[in-house]
Amino acid sequence: MAERKKLPPVGVDGSAEIQSSGLSRRAFVSTMGVAGATVFGLSMFCNVQSLSALTKSPILMDAKGVLLHDPSRCVGCRRCELACTEFNDGAASSYLSRVKVGRNLAASSGVNDNYKVIADTCKQCPHPVPCAEACPKGAIRADAKTGARTVDQTVCVGCGVCMIACPWAVITVNPTTHKSSKCNLCDGSPECVRACPTGALKYVSWRDLRLVAPPVQPGITADPKSAYCAPCHS
């Protein structure tokens, strides 16, 4: 059995002092929207070097909080998905949900995961933020109150590039509105946390969850020593 990693003791929220499991890489199958955007994204964002071809976005302020999921408490009821979409989209939809549980249910096995259910959530990445860097319109910005990486619906053109840029595939283009959506932390009071009956989801002070959550797709990442980042880190 793989040894579980502990989250770094960041933040002051006492309720967040729980262990996070080492997430196993799991197969992710999804209809990613327009085929053209998919081909473009895969060719452009398959490695770090491709970042040099992008237009640098403004440095976003760090998020103040992030969603933390404890798989040892999760029962797979998926109330979080319903709460998320009913509040943000006015519809009950697992596909549109910013919390991704349903896609992982088939991968929860006694062999690899001890039957624990994983909810994939936005990591509220620090700079450089993959989805924001990839957006050709600069539609992804930091919320002034929470620092959450949010999509400006008036600017988004629904190209789907951000979906492919996100290593954890937690961004979705709404097939009805043709606009991208991602976790906005519900103005600091996440509905998914309020709806969880077991306390498996918590809203905690920001910590770098990228360290304990292996990507589910290539996405884009950046090394501060790369040619893309070096000018700002020298």
User: Structure pTM?
Assistant: 0.71
Asked if residue 226 has pLDDT above 70, the reply is: no
| Angstrom distance (rounded) from CA 73 to CA 59 | 36
Mean pLDDT of 51-58: 52
Question: What six digits make up the tokens of 123?
Answer: 């990591």
* Residue extents of the structural domains in the chain: 42-52+65-217
Q: Are 220 and 130 in contact (CB under 8 A)?
A: yes
Quick: pLDDT tens for 58-70. 677 889 999 999 9
- Domain 42-52+65-217 in CATH 3.30.70.20? The answer is yes
Mean pLDDT of 163-170: 94
| Angstrom distance (rounded) from CA 73 to CA 62 | 28
pLDDT band, residue 234 (cuts 50/70/90): low
Asked if residue 162 has pLDDT above 60, the reply is: yes
Question: What six digits make up the tokens of 206?
Answer: 């920001």
pLDDT band, residue 127 (cuts 50/70/90): confident
Q: pLDDT > 90: what percent of the chain?
A: 54
Quick: pLDDT tens for 72-95. 899 999 999 999 999 999 999 999
Rg of the chain in Å (alpha carbons): 17
CB atoms within 10 A of CB 23: 23
Pairing between β-strand 201-205 and β-strand 180-181 as defined by DSSP bridges: unpaired
pLDDT band, residue 182 (cuts 50/70/90): very high
Task: Phi first, then psi: give them for residue 123, nearest 5 degrees.
Answer: -85, -5
Positive or negative: CA dihedral 85, 90, 94, 95: negative
Q: Which residues contact 113 (CB under 8 A, 6 or more apart)?
A: 24, 71, 107
Asked if residue 11 has pLDDT above 90, the reply is: no
Asked if residue 218 has pLDDT above 80, the reply is: yes
pLDDT at residue 188, rounded to an integer: 95
What single letter denotes the amino acid at residue 137?
K
